[in-house]
Amino acid sequence: MENILSVITFIPFIGMLIICCLPKNSVGLIKGVALVATGIPLILATQLYFGYDPMAGADGAYAYVEQIDWITGIGAQYHVGIDGISLPLVWLTSILLFLGVPASFGIQKSQKAYYALLLLLEVGVFGVFISLDYFLFYVFWEIMLLPMYFLIGIWGGPRREYAAIKFFLYTLAGSVLLLIAVIALRLQMTDIAPETPFSIPAMVAAASEGLLTGASLPNGGLLLGMEFSTWAFWFLFIGFAIKVPVFPFHTWLPDAHVQAPTPISVILAGILLKLGGYGMMRACFPIMPVAFYENAYILAILGVISIVYGSFVALGQTDFKRMVAYSSVSHMGYVLLGVGAMTVWGAEGAAMQMFAHGTSSAAMFMVVGVIYDRAHHRDLNGFGGLSQPMPVYWGLTTICFFAGLGLPTMSGFIAEALTLVGAFQSDDIRFQALVLISIIGVVITAAFLLWAIQRVFLGTLNEKYKDYPDMNFREIFCMVPLLILCIVFGIFPNLILDVMHPSLDHLVTLLTAGGN
Amino acid sequence: MNPYIEGMQALAPELVLTALALIVLVADLLTKGKDSRRMGYLTLAGLAVVGGMLALRLGEPSQTYFGMVIVDSFGTFFKLFTVAAVAVVCVFILSDKNERKNGIGEYYFLLLGASVGIFFMVSTNHLLLLVLGLELLSLASYALAGFHKGQRKSAEAAMKYVVFGGLSAGIMVYGISLLYGMTGTLDLAEMATLAGDSIPTGLVPQLYLSAMPVGVAMVMILAGFAYKMSVVPFHFWTPDVYEGSPTPVTTFLAVASKAAGVAALLRFVGALFPVDGVDEIIMWYGDRFGMLIAVLAAVTMTLGNLSALRQQSLKRMLAYSSIAHAGYILIGVATRTSEGFDAAMYYMTAYYFMNLGAFGVLLYFESALGSDRIEDMRGFGWKSPLISIAMVAFLVSLTGLPPTIGFYGKYLLFKVGVAEGLGWLVIVAALNSVVSLFYYFSVAKSLFLKESNDERPALSQPLFAGLLTAIGVLTIFFGLFPDSIQELVEMCSLLGS
Amino acid sequence: MANLLFYLMGLGAVIGSLLVVTSKNPITSVLSLLGTFFCLATIYLLAGFQFLAAAQILVYGGAIMVLFLFVVMLLNLGHPEEGSGLEFMNKRRMPFAFAASAMLIVLTFAGVLGQGSAPGAVELAHMATIGDLAGLMFGSFLLPFEAASILLMGAAVAVIVLAKRERTQAVER
């Protein structure tokens, strides 16, 4: 199928339209449509993933490319395609959104609107991962915000309104800066590639030839006294860093996560955070290679701060969900460290970490959701001895947390090990110091996760909790596939590394060329 | 052919509009003011005719009649804009549950009279005709603002509007008289090209002689435009007048009247200070003038957005938001390039859709709830989902997020800003968009995120709801496929491409 | 001589207009306005605008002033009480008013005196007879003339709308 990417992206949209037309009361039908509309993309994406020839992404090439003129007035195109970096994330998205539907069956309030928004969110996320046109990319990037705002704001916890608007404001603040940088890039592309001025591959190519220096902009690209390469790089970076989130832009994340309903937290942690990391790899670093090369060390420092800071703060939390949220900050720090190192291993570690964290943290939020549905609170110190009434839950949680702390045989281990080794390989001696510091984060992460298991499952059983039912089939069904993925990719990492390798290899070549 | 007859033919839309206004007035007298809705339908039919005449003229070359009326696509664009806006305002009046059914025939006459004023304003380079058009628009607007004179707020609105309008019009005319005294002509095109032999006339010799007085005159003239567009520091009337006026009138003031100010300002700046001016001193001077407008833009959008943050009333919030949007539009004016002007025109089109929509929803809530307080709309999104979802589209567009027409408009403005070295202004505007998100989405929050404690059922107005939904759909459609509007704007470009 | 008269009349106009706004008695205000109009008419005459001067006296000094006087006397606004809402000379607002006026004066000086002479005006001085005026009004300025008529029409309706009693509304309720 030539236009398989469009099909994957817009099937949820059709599903959304169908749901909009259904009557409010036919809840079963709505859920069914949602399942089908997320299930078809899952099947197609799985097929795509296993039928993908890794070499299709070599040397900056893209597979399944579609290129149609869209807004001729400014040269924006409907230009989509995938490579080894985006494909695993597309697949991850289809998995998590599909699992997100049954995970949402517990929701009772305005279900029609809920599933419609969920599907719209899926459209936006797919769109970002497949876009090769910066304008299209930006449009999808922003489309995603709206359903997220309502999903947190309507179905969230007690402080949902605050969390929803905070999430929206933070992300928008980043994306308007992004927009300015995109405009500046677009203006320079007018002469370089008049036919496809928004094309990301064309921008990357132009950048590698040293054409995007801002010289053709008024004042030579100076803005507020900063050189073009400086401000454009930081505008792009901050736009994506807020989404990751990188310290110090992370403060929206705990609020959004804690207030969001469980399935939305799962999607937020599993996919939306990846958009930031993906955006950097696709649409920031390779377009500004020189600035990236100069600032890579600062980025790595930010990454390490996120790793260590996130884990320390997680250690101090008593709210189960907040702890998991901060663990995301910590885990996503590896992405920056890995890419910043500019070694193939580092980049592979970073890309793999995105996938691994997408599965493990999603599962962790499901763990929190399971207990919250029963106890209606998330105070870690309020539980204890739950291993007796809920043995299955205990077992799955343990696997899940092991995945989170990077136990060998889990995908998280491979990702973190690759990242750290890759960073250690760097020619720059400072990276080796950073690796040593980030080891602290690894240790603390293990500490808070194990401590959480101890507090929740071990010790004396609180009488209140002794009648709790164990996980039901729906909950197990949602969580187990994620854990299987963690284990499979932990044991056979080449299943994913082979897919990513050619594209990442090319990326690293581009980035290291920025130094010359 | 006789030049007068030729001129009359060229002015056919104006004549038809004037005739329509008089017919409405007389017809209202003959029917003794019973069932004024008929006057509304008559007005709509007449506007359709005028709109058709105008649409046929799009793309015709520019010609000047009577030495002062320019019939060109740029003017036709804004005339069509006005006709379209007034038509929707008429529908608003017809759907307004709080409005009387009888004895309001003058409502339509005043709207049409104001439109004639706009027609003159947007199609002339002659300052005399400009002032006449502006005054006609203003006089009709004063009466419209005070149309519910029994209500204290409406009377107060009219009073404030008159005082501020008189003041700024006075300043403007004073500036024009200074300019006339110095250059010897009221025609902007002549002013820009005249170079007298013995006696220095025209702008260029005057600027060489002494730039200061010309600057003073320019700033004073700018006051008149700033007042119509509600640009800081001539915005003080906006919130009170918008709040006090009947909502359809507010819509007219926010959309049509503002567009007239924008069009006139574009003509003024385009005639005197295009960026590729012929003369060195014009360019030097134009840079200063552009910088002044850029600073005004930054101040206007910031002040408008920050003031909007505190508002409890949706109507007042939209008033401040319209101030902020005037600031965005000024980015395009400040660049003084053809692209910048086009971007401003595109943004006006976007503004048309999203503001007509937002004010329409406001009118709906006023009818349904008898209140325009954002808090009173709690949970209403679940009761009238279609209108509320359309409202979210308008809010998204007003914030400037994809996939709406407002985003594309903002993109074009930002683009010309960056391309013409106004990067700092673009950053200010971008941060302002973030601020504006907060108050725009307080409406969305109230509609959907809050629980309703109001037992009143939703109001059933299928036609009106249909109109709003259609505007909402167009808001998104033109955001995703803006080419058709962009082509129209480029065809009607003032400075040519 | 002409210069002296100009300055005298200018001074008279300024003092007259100041009296209009500062005087507490409406009759005094109206009469001061009348004086101001006469001073202005004289200035027009000095500049050679005979028609304008005549129109000024006939229309403003005559018709409109009489109307004003009638209104003032009919409404019996003779002696406004303190704090009756007509108190424009509010102490709080005075600084703003002064600042605004000062700015206008400075602008005027900068504008007019900044360059010595106003060349455009020199030419105009030759064409101020009634015949010339009629030629302009029904010739090259026909359109603004007609536009002004629409303007007056609109203004008339606007005034009626604002002035008429809301009879229909009362009947409805």
pLDDT in 10s for each residue of chain A, 516 residues: 678 889 999 999 999 999 988 888 888 899 999 999 999 999 999 998 888 888 877 777 888 888 888 988 888 899 999 988 899 999 999 999 999 898 888 888 888 899 999 999 999 999 999 999 999 999 999 999 999 999 999 988 888 889 999 999 999 999 999 999 999 999 888 888 888 889 998 888 888 888 888 778 887 777 777 888 888 899 999 999 998 888 888 889 888 988 889 889 999 988 999 999 999 988 888 888 888 888 888 998 999 999 999 999 998 888 888 988 998 899 898 898 888 888 888 888 999 999 999 999 999 999 888 888 888 888 888 887 888 888 888 888 888 888 888 888 888 888 888 888 888 888 778 888 888 888 888 889 888 888 888 888 888 877 777 788 888 888 888 888 989 988 898 889 888 888 888 888 888 888 888 766
Instruction: Check the CA dihedral B67-B71-B77-B82 and report its sign.
Output: positive
Give the distance from residue A73's alpha carbon to the nearest chain B alpha carbon, in angstroms.
6
In 3D space, the residue among A133, A140, A127 whose CA is nearest the CA of residue A195 turns out to be A133
- Whether the per-residue pLDDT at C85 is higher than 60: the answer is no
Residue A228's closest chain B neighbor by CA? Answer: B423
**Cα atoms found within 13 Å of the Cα of residue A448, Cβ hemisphere only:** 29
Interchain contact A150–B (C-beta under 8 A): yes
- Is B136 close to C160, i.e. CB distance below 8 A? no
SS3 A82: strand
In 3D space, the residue among B332, B310, B331 whose CA is nearest the CA of residue B320 turns out to be B310
Per-residue HEC secondary structure of B386-402 comes to HHHHHHHHHHHHHHCCC
Give the distance from residue B130's alpha carbon to the nearest chain C alpha carbon, in angstroms.
9
Q: What is the pLDDT of residue A475?
A: 87
**Which of B4, B129, B183 has the CB atom closest to C144's CB atom?**
B129
A125 close to A85: Cβ distance less than 8 angstroms? no
Interchain contact A114–B (C-beta under 8 A): no
- Is C147 close to B196, i.e. CB distance below 8 A? no
Interatomic CA distance for residues B87 and B255, integer angstroms: 12
**Residue A287 structure tokens:** 């377009």
Q: Is residue B202 part of a domain?
A: no
Helices (H), B336-422: 338-369, 380-383, 385-399, 405-419
Confidence of residue C4 (pLDDT cuts 50, 70, 90): confident
Q: What is the pLDDT of residue C145?
A: 87
A138 close to A175: Cβ distance less than 8 angstroms? yes
Q: Chain C residues with CB inside 8 Å of B158's CB?
A: 162
- Is B178 close to C162, i.e. CB distance below 8 A? no
Interatomic CA distance for residues C64 and A240, integer angstroms: 69
> From 1.10.760.10, 1.20.120.1200, 3.90.340.10, 3.30.70.20, which CATH number describes the C1-78 domain?
1.20.120.1200
Interface test with A, best of B411, B469, B473, B489 (most A CBs within 10 A): B411
Amino acid code (one letter) for A291 = A
Q: What is the pLDDT of residue C121?
A: 45
* Residue B303 main-chain phi, psi, to 5 deg: -65, -45
In 3D space, the residue among A219, A177, A182, A329 whose CA is nearest the CA of residue A268 turns out to be A329
Domain coordinates in residue numbering, chain A: 290-516
Amino acid code (one letter) for A345 = W
Q: Output DSSP code: residue A199.
A: B
Interatomic CA distance for residues A193 and A232, integer angstroms: 19
Q: Chain A residues with CB inside 8 Å of B301's CB?
A: none
In 3D space, the residue among A402, A427, A430, A428 whose CA is nearest the CA of residue A416 turns out to be A402
Give the distance from residue B466's alpha carbon to the nearest chain A alpha carbon, in angstroms.
16
Cis peptide before A248 (omega within 30 of 0): yes
SS3 B202: coil
Residue B327 CB neighbour total at 10 angstroms: 27
Q: Is residue B139 part of a domain?
A: no
Cis peptide before B385 (omega within 30 of 0): no
Interatomic CA distance for residues A255 and A281, integer angstroms: 27
Residue C107's closest chain B neighbor by CA? Answer: B216
In this complex, which chains have at least 3 CB pairs below 8 Å with chain B? A, C
Interatomic CA distance for residues B137 and A58, integer angstroms: 65
Neighbouring residues of B447: CB distance < 8 A, sequence distance ≥ 6 = B377, B378, B379, B380, B381, B388, B391, B392
Q: What is the pLDDT of residue C112?
A: 58
Interchain contact C157–B (C-beta under 8 A): yes
SS3 C91: coil
- Is C119 close to B200, i.e. CB distance below 8 A? yes
Interatomic CA distance for residues A4 and B412, integer angstroms: 32
Q: Which residues of chain B have pLDDT under 50?
A: none
Q: What is the pLDDT of residue B206?
A: 74
Q: Over range C37-46, report the average pLDDT.
A: 87
In 3D space, the residue among B414, B431, B104, B83 whose CA is nearest the CA of residue B259 turns out to be B83
Report, in angstroms and rounded to the nearest whole number, the Rg of chain C calculated over CA atoms.
21
Q: What is the pLDDT of residue C123?
A: 47
- Is B201 close to C110, i.e. CB distance below 8 A? no
Interchain contact C163–B (C-beta under 8 A): no
B438 close to A169: Cβ distance less than 8 angstroms? yes
B329 close to B342: Cβ distance less than 8 angstroms? no
Give the distance from residue A274's alpha carbon to the nearest chain B alpha carbon, in angstroms.
21
Domain coordinates in residue numbering, chain C: 1-78
| CB < 8 Å & 24+ apart, contacts of C98-105 | C104/B174
Interatomic CA distance for residues B449 and B371, integer angstroms: 19
**Which of B66, B106, B206 has the CB atom closest to C161's CB atom?**
B106
Q: Is residue B328 part of a domain?
A: yes
Q: What is the pLDDT of residue B199?
A: 57
- Whether the per-residue pLDDT at C127 is higher than 60: the answer is no
Neighbouring residues of C69: CB distance < 8 A, sequence distance ≥ 6 = C27, C30
Give chain B's domain count.
1
In Å, what is the CA distance from A466 to each residue of A382, A389, A398, B186, C81?
13, 6, 20, 91, 84
Apex A111 CA angle, A108 and A116, nearest 5 = 155
Q: Is residue B314 part of a domain?
A: yes
Give the distance from residue C143's alpha carbon to the nearest chain B alpha carbon, in angstroms.
7
B248 close to B89: Cβ distance less than 8 angstroms? yes
Between chain A and chain C, are at least 3 CB pairs below 8 A?
Answer: no
Q: Chain B residues with CB inside 8 Å of C140's CB?
A: 66-67
SS3 A489: helix
Q: Chain A residues with CB inside 8 Å of B487's CB?
A: 73
User: Which residues, listed in sequence order, are joined to residue A133 by a DSSP beta bridge?
Assistant: A199
Helices A200-208, A160-192: axis angle to 10 degrees equals 60
In 3D space, the residue among B263, B424, B406 whose CA is nearest the CA of residue B325 turns out to be B406
Neighbouring residues of A307: CB distance < 8 A, sequence distance ≥ 6 = A330, A331, A333, A334, A337, A438, A441
- Is A183 close to B418, i.e. CB distance below 8 A? yes
Q: Regarding predicted confidence, which is higher, B435 or C28?
A: B435
**Residue A329 structure tokens:** 């900050």
Interchain contact A29–B (C-beta under 8 A): no
Apex B367 CA angle, B365 and B370, nearest 5 = 80
**Which of B25, B106, B182 has the CB atom closest to C118's CB atom?**
B182
Q: Chain B residues with CB inside 8 Å of A172's CB?
A: 399, 401, 433-434, 437
- Is C157 close to B178, i.e. CB distance below 8 A? no
Helices B73-95, B462-480: axis angle to 10 degrees equals 150
Helices A494-513, A86-103: axis angle to 10 degrees equals 130
Q: Chain B residues with CB inside 8 Å of A218's CB?
A: 419-421, 423
- Whether the per-residue pLDDT at C119 is higher than 50: the answer is no
Q: Is residue B134 part of a domain?
A: no
A57 close to A83: Cβ distance less than 8 angstroms? yes
**Residue B269 structure tokens:** 């700046």
Residue at token pair 């015709």: B60
Q: Chain C residues with CB inside 8 Å of B139's CB?
A: 151, 154-155, 158
- Structural domain including B404 reads 279-497
Q: Chain B residues with CB inside 8 Å of C119's CB?
A: 182, 184, 196, 199-201
Interatomic CA distance for residues A368 and B162, integer angstroms: 63
Interatomic CA distance for residues B257 and B230, integer angstroms: 10
- Is C147 close to B133, i.e. CB distance below 8 A? yes
Apex B433 CA angle, B429 and B438, nearest 5 = 145
